[in-house]
Amino acid sequence: MKRNFKLVALTAATALTAGLLVAGASAKEVKIGVVLTYSGGAAHFGEQIGRGMDLYIKQHPEAFGGHTVKLIKRDSKRPGGDIAKNAVQELITREKVDLLTGFVFSPNAMASAPLATKGKVPMVIMNAGTAWIPSLSPYIARVSFTMWHSGYPMGKYAHDKLGCKTAAAGFTNYPPGKDSRNAFQTGLQEAGGKLVESIPMGGPRDVPDFTPFFQRVKDLKPDCFFVFVPAGNHAAAVFKTYSAVGLKAAGVRLIGPGDITQDTKLQGMGDGAVGMITMHHYAADYDNPENRAFVAAWKKAYGADTTPDFMAVQGWDGMAAIAHAIKAQNGDVTADGTINALKGWTYRSPRGSITIDPETRDIIMDANVHRVVKKGGRLMIEVIDTVPQVKDPCKALKIGKCAK
């Protein structure tokens, strides 16, 4: 076994050297500025995305067309915008980066967008999900998602397939929550359903007592209850209250976007989550060859007890997009060249087939219907249906700020 490994390593090294020799004089080092939250309460987001990126570079060195990348990491700390903006400004002026990527929180991406235009540096967004971000600069492309990618199809699907003629919505009162609720309402109403109640359920920082909100829903007796809360403690409390108040017994179906059942938090949610139906673009349990390879490589690199989640896959896909852009331009990265290379770029991601929309520079991907099941003592995500190749509905329907 050991000798075998040595042989493989030797072959790989030879191949790599040969590859480098072929690329020869034209091999370039592309500098990439990575702006993520590495510290504080949201540090695990930065960690997931960063690991996804590193893993892609390790697994697919050939995808960069003989060129290498140097990642210059900066901590964006809080979602305030100013710290990320200063970091980006320094990355452009002092480090002279060819490309920018990362961006967990939307305000950080929004604050940095004018700099991408001014400095002519392309920006690949790996999370920040406010729908209209790509319209802030012609040099932005996004490989993550918008809240509309899950909320809107969920509204339609809930009405057409789950029998939700009437629904109530409960959401944590901050932008992703409000976005998700609006998307769900739009989808539901277009399908002919009716949103009978909409309940803001506190801020994202503290877990509120959900009982009064859920009691209100129980009195209204809608067919379905759409909930958006941050994954983790909030979600666990939602499932507990859902059973305790008797909504489950009353036959009110619990649905939501897949952010709630994030892989890294899934096992802590308890059996109350079983049967919940969500709409999302990724779960580590997806059964396709790309994902099996991705998850196996992940567990080998970071430990068997860790799991990638949708943020990790966004980091992986973002790096794949960057690799494609570098290869297409043969290492001479420009803003226009990068965006042109990414427009219409299609890739077989662990989440399924993804494409960058040439018009909006936003992602087109499948929205999958997830059901939480329990198998072999652990909670799992089962895909029961798919809405194929969803374009961001907010921009497609020209709603509010997305109309620009």
Q: Which residues bind other proteins (CB under 8 A)?
A: 36, 38-40, 43, 46-47, 73-75, 77-82, 85-86, 89-90, 92-94, 106-107, 110-111, 114-115, 118-119, 130, 136, 174-175
Sequence letter at residue 287: D
Output the smallest distance, CB 103 to other proteins, in A.
14
Give the nearer residue to other proteins in terms of CB position, either 37 or 278. 37
Give the nearer residue to other proteins in terms of CB position, either 28 or 85. 85
59 in helix, strand or coil?
A: helix
Contact 269, 261 (CB under 8 A): yes
Output the smallest distance, CB 99 to other proteins, in A.
16
Report d(CA 320, CA 322) in Å as an integer. Answer: 5
Pairing of strands 277-280, 253-257: parallel
Output the smallest distance, CB 360 to other proteins, in A.
18
Output the smallest distance, CB 115 to other proteins, in A.
7
247 in helix, strand or coil?
A: coil
Contact 198, 181 (CB under 8 A): yes
Pairing of strands 29-36, 378-390: unpaired
Give the nearer residue to other proteins in terms of CB position, either 130 or 278. 130
Output the smallest distance, CB 81 to other proteins, in A.
5
Rounded to 10 degrees, what is the CA torsion of 128, 133, 138, 142? Answer: 30
Report d(CA 282, CA 247) in Å as an integer. Answer: 28
Give the nearer residue to other proteins in terms of CB position, either 78 or 343. 78
Give the nearer residue to other proteins in terms of CB position, either 46 or 315. 46
Report d(CA 246, CA 239) in Å as an integer. Answer: 11
Residue written as token pair 């699907």: 157
Give the nearer residue to other proteins in terms of CB position, either 101 or 261. 101
Output the smallest distance, CB 200 to other proteins, in A.
11
